[in-house]
Amino acid sequence: MKKALAVLGCTLLAVAPFAHADEVEDTVKARQAAYRMLAWNTGIIKANLQGEFDAKKVQTAANTIAAIAHSDMGALYAPGTEKGKGYYPTKAKPAAFTDDKVVQVATNFVKAADALAAAAQGGDKDAVKAAFGDLGGTCKACHDDYRAK
Amino acid sequence: MKKALAVLGCTLLAVAPFAHADEVEDTVKARQAAYRMLAWNTGIIKANLQGEFDAKKVQTAANTIAAIAHSDMGALYAPGTEKGKGYYPTKAKPAAFTDDKVVQVATNFVKAADALAAAAQGGDKDAVKAAFGDLGGTCKACHDDYRAK
């Protein structure tokens, strides 16, 4: 899991558990906020694929997804946050904090987010649709193993 | 306020109030998530300015802030969300949904976020510090007028 956190950009927080409960709660809230933002922006892209395709809106949404994917998401899984409550009891399964396979799942997600941003930059609806499908696959792979239903 | 929403990239949602309460709640949650993500990433930059300066971490955080600033934030203030609960009762004051000055406040924020991302790209701590201060000023300007204490 240390390797997973390193891939996700986490260094200090991976080895230094929080001293204060408030920090745990703030981190769990930030984690939940990150996924909410991902959902909001994938929702925008989905709506544009199903209806009128506004290339600019799709591009800004894809850029936001890519930026969040590249942000310090590993720090959002810092020690102590396994049982944090946040805005609601965390849905992250214990395996999300211990399984080495998280490295690959996270790497796949970041790559797919980059590919989607590149496709959105190109402005071709079919290319965006294909890249969006690939991204969805990486989301599902993580949800299947590491998120409670 | 229509002009403000247009500046923020909102078109459809600005003129079409939600049909379902769930959509209002989801939008308020996304709004709260957006600001939580902004706070999380400004926190990363603040910590790097106060302690060891990791240029790469600062850059990814600044990029995330800029991406969120450029995302469809106007849609997060869609009609019906003035009184949404979300994760907690919204702190957005009624004026945030009606005041034409929001246009300028929002524009200033986006410009400052871009300037911070550019400074972070350059990797110079003093330049980042100055741009971060400017960004903080635009946050405060909005909080002073449009967010409940």
More confident residue, A4 or A38: A38
Tell me the mean pLDDT in the region A13-36: 82
Instruction: Tell me the one-letter amino acid at B25.
Output: E
The overall average pLDDT reported for chain A is: 89
CATH of the domain at B27: 1.20.120.10
Nearest to A61 among B32, B40, B71 (CB): B71
- Does the reported pTM lie above 0.90? no
Contact between residue B41 and residue A64 where contact means Cβ atoms under 8 Å apart: no
Q: In which domain, by residue range, is A37 found?
A: 2-146
ipTM of the complex: 0.86
CB atoms within 10 A of CB B16: 11
Helices (H), chain B: 2-7, 12-15, 21-50, 55-70, 102-122, 125-146
pLDDT, residue B2, reads 43
The secondary structure of residue A20, as a DSSP letter, is S
Which chain B residues touch A57 with a CB distance below 8 Å? 9, 72
- CA-to-CA distance for A132 and A134, rounded, in angstroms? 5
Residue in B closest to A38 by C-alpha: B30
Question: What confidence tier does A99 reach under pLDDT thresholds 50, 70, 90?
Answer: very high
Cβ-Cβ contacts under 8 Å, A34 against chain B: 33, 37, 40
Nearest to B24 by CA among B63, B74, B64, B82: B82
Q: Number of folded domains in chain A? A: 1
Cα–Cα dist A52/A54, whole Å: 6
pLDDT tens digit string along A35-81?
999 999 999 999 999 999 999 999 999 999 999 999 989 899 999 99
The residue ranges of chain B whose pLDDT is under 50 are: 1-15
Pairwise CB contact (< 8 Å): B64 & A61: no
